[in-house]
Amino acid sequence: MNDKKWYEYNEEDKVKNVYSKITLQQFWDWWSNKENKVMEIRIKDFILIKEIANKLNIPYSVSGVYVNNVTQLKYVLKLARDKATLWFGINPRKKNVNRWGKKSYEGRDINVNEIGFIFVDIDRISKKDKPAEIEDLKDADVLADKILDRLETQEWNKGYIKICSGHGVQLVIKLDFPLKMPEVVFKKHNIKNPKTGKVEEIYGEVLDDEFEKYKEIIRRGIGKEILKFSRKFKDEIRVEVDKSGFNIGRLAALHCSKNLKYNTFRWRGIVELKDDINVGLSDYVMSKEEDVKKFKEMNVFSKSRALNNEDRIKKGKLMEHKLIKFILQPDLPVGGGNNKLWFQLKCLIRDSGIDLNSKEFREFHSKLEKNWKTTLSTNLPLKQFEFDKNIINSYCLDHHIPLVYDFWLHRKKIVNMFDKNILSWEHRKGVGVMELDGGSTIQEDLKVCLSNLREGDRSNYDIIGTFINALIKKYSEQKARYYFNNLFNRAFNYR
């Protein structure tokens, strides 16, 4: 069995045994979610940019070319990787008004269509004008894994790629739903061209508070916490996180490209790719602006978090607590009860300071063991494990019972998704059936339906109807009704 780490291979074997395991198609599908999105390929050579754009008949700007499928990406790599270092825009791009009033692609923040990822760029503290050594890459990999370990406490390490940039490591962590960038207002200005002396009309953007909020939301929120966390290890491992990586227009090393530096080159490639959903990560990112208290309480990069007062179990009122009432229900499904319910409750008991020898706890514990017909350990979890409402809700979803806690706690209500803001089971009548993947989860199914909806569009009602019919066909009417009652309102009326 080969237990060799990726960074221990030489360049040739790294390509053969690591980078080649992930195809460009897999990378593109992961990045685009198999949706119609535009990626910027940044190239610091305008002559080469024009040459590639003209040959492939694709859009370009002074900063790079723009591709919307994997075939175009492959051709750009083929034409450019031996001539220039290539990067890809982390977030999808869009056309926007340029200074001449025409819509075009550019490498500016106003050309970012949506925020779909958190980017973490880990590099050597001291570069010494020479290529990274094995120990440098190892240190970068160690810090990347420490960050992923913290994200794992909220199960936010399920969707990411880890890239060797040639001389460092980069993480691109996928949000469970992208944050759409607000539209920008443009105004015309008349200025005198100093070369010609003529007065010319140019367009300039007017950035409002909403745009600025979204532009800074990663950097000022989770990005700031990642920086604090990573700095604790500066003396232990000789790498650091680049704070500029949290800007929305940032670029990452392009898979299967070359880093042309130090009079040589290093191949760049994906080391790990995880393609599941980081449920709740987008809500957490948004809570920085919408509910600072909850953002601080949920901070996964802090060793301990203050327990939310509404979640705390009060001494003398243990039996009145929301979660305890739920757990004591008769005939509660057994599957996952110990790992998901009892373990989470023990986290709450620990952080609430409940005395395990108190009469009220012993009475509750005895009653629960009798209900569940099993012995329940009272060993309290280590501090690294913290109470998570999402795990309680995941138990409910597993067994199709009403959710204990609000789902997607930090989403913001959309006023105009439906004319009357009403979701009705009756929408299923007289419409067809939406096509769903047989192996997808309900969260993935909801995203498919959501991608077809348009704010204020009357056809939304029919789309919802076809989606309900698809759920009935895929899961059964009983399960479809459960998902309708518990998930639809939050999924389709909030962001």
Q: What is the pLDDT of residues 266-297, one digit of tens each?
A: 999 999 999 999 998 999 999 888 777 777 76
Looking at the predicted structure, is the pLDDT value of residue 219 above 90? yes
The gap from C-alpha 315 to its chain's centroid, in whole angstroms, comes to 38
The helix or strand, by DSSP H or E, that contains position 272, with its residue range, turns out to be strand 264-275
Q: Give the total residue count for the chain.
A: 495
Virtual CA dihedral for 426, 432, 438, 441, nearest 10 degrees? -40
Virtual CA dihedral for 159, 164, 168, 174, nearest 10 degrees? -20
The helix or strand, by DSSP H or E, that contains position 145, with its residue range, turns out to be helix 134-152
pLDDT on residue 243: 92
**Within 10 Å of residue 273's Cβ, how many Cβ atoms?**
17
Virtual CA dihedral for 149, 389, 273, 445, nearest 10 degrees? 180
pLDDT on residue 417: 61
CA dist 64 and 51 (Å) reads: 11
The helix or strand, by DSSP H or E, that contains position 223, with its residue range, turns out to be helix 222-231
User: 73-88, pLDDT tens digit by residue?
Assistant: 999 999 999 999 999 9
pLDDT band of residue 459 (cuts 50, 70, 90) is confident
Q: In the numeric block, which tokens belong to residue 308? A: 């939310």
CA dist 222 and 159 (Å) reads: 16
User: 292-334, pLDDT tens digit by residue?
Assistant: 777 776 777 875 455 566 788 888 889 999 999 999 998 888 7
pLDDT on residue 253: 97
User: 357-383, pLDDT tens digit by residue?
Assistant: 899 999 999 999 999 999 999 998 887
> In terms of DSSP bridges, do strands 86-89 and 39-43 run parallel, antiparallel, or are they unpaired?
antiparallel
User: 53-112, pLDDT tens digit by residue?
Assistant: 999 999 999 999 999 999 999 999 999 999 999 999 999 999 998 877 788 999 999 999
Backbone torsion region of residue 263, taken as left when φ is above 0, otherwise alpha when ψ lies between -120 and 50, otherwise beta: left
Of residues 305 and 26, more confidently modeled: 26
Yes or no: say if 50 and 79 are a contact pair by the CB < 8 Å rule.
Answer: no
Under 8 Å CB-to-CB from 258, ≥6 apart: which residues? 81, 82, 85, 86, 166, 265, 266, 267, 268
Q: In the numeric block, which tokens belong to residue 244? A: 């500029």
pLDDT on residue 98: 81
pLDDT on residue 441: 83
Yes or no: say if 168 and 105 are a contact pair by the CB < 8 Å rule.
Answer: no
Q: For the chain, what percentages of helix, strand and coil (3-state, to nearest 5) are there?
A: 40, 20, 40
pLDDT band of residue 473 (cuts 50, 70, 90) is very high
Looking at the predicted structure, is the pLDDT value of residue 122 above 80? yes
pLDDT on residue 187: 79
Of residues 280 and 203, more confidently modeled: 280
Name beta bridge partners: 104: 96
Looking at the predicted structure, is the pLDDT value of residue 408 above 90? no
Under 8 Å CB-to-CB from 128, ≥6 apart: which residues? none
pLDDT band of residue 47 (cuts 50, 70, 90) is very high
188-204: average pLDDT: 73
CA dist 418 and 149 (Å) reads: 40
pLDDT on residue 418: 63
Average pLDDT of the chain is: 88
**Within 10 Å of residue 458's Cβ, how many Cβ atoms?**
9
DSSP classification of residue 413: B
Yes or no: say if 63 and 40 are a contact pair by the CB < 8 Å rule.
Answer: yes
Yes or no: say if 244 and 120 are a contact pair by the CB < 8 Å rule.
Answer: no
200-219: average pLDDT: 83
Of residues 171 and 402, more confidently modeled: 171
Q: Which residues of 136-172 are buried (b: 16+ CB within 10 A; e: fewer)?
A: bbbbbbebbbbbbebbebbbbbbbbbbbbbbbbbbbb
Yes or no: say if 136 and 123 are a contact pair by the CB < 8 Å rule.
Answer: no
Coil/strand/helix, residue 116: strand
pLDDT band of residue 422 (cuts 50, 70, 90) is low
pLDDT on residue 421: 58
CA dist 80 and 282 (Å) reads: 35
pLDDT on residue 307: 59
pLDDT on residue 323: 94
Q: In the numeric block, which tokens belong to residue 103? A: 């819509």
Alpha helix ranges (H) inside 276-386: 281-290, 292-297, 322-327, 343-352, 359-372
Name beta bridge partners: 274: 160
Q: In the numeric block, which tokens belong to residue 407? A: 């789902």
pLDDT on residue 407: 62
Looking at the predicted structure, is the pLDDT value of residue 31 above 90? yes
pLDDT on residue 416: 57
CA dist 436 and 445 (Å) reads: 7
Question: How far is CA 388 from each of CA 270, 278, 290, 307, 322, rounded to the nearest angstrom?
Answer: 31, 14, 20, 11, 14
- Range of 263-267, 333-337, 459-463 with top mean pLDDT: 263-267
Looking at the predicted structure, is the pLDDT value of residue 414 above 60? no
| CA quadruple 73, 74, 80, 84: dihedral sign | positive
Amino acid at 197: G
Name beta bridge partners: 171: 120, 162
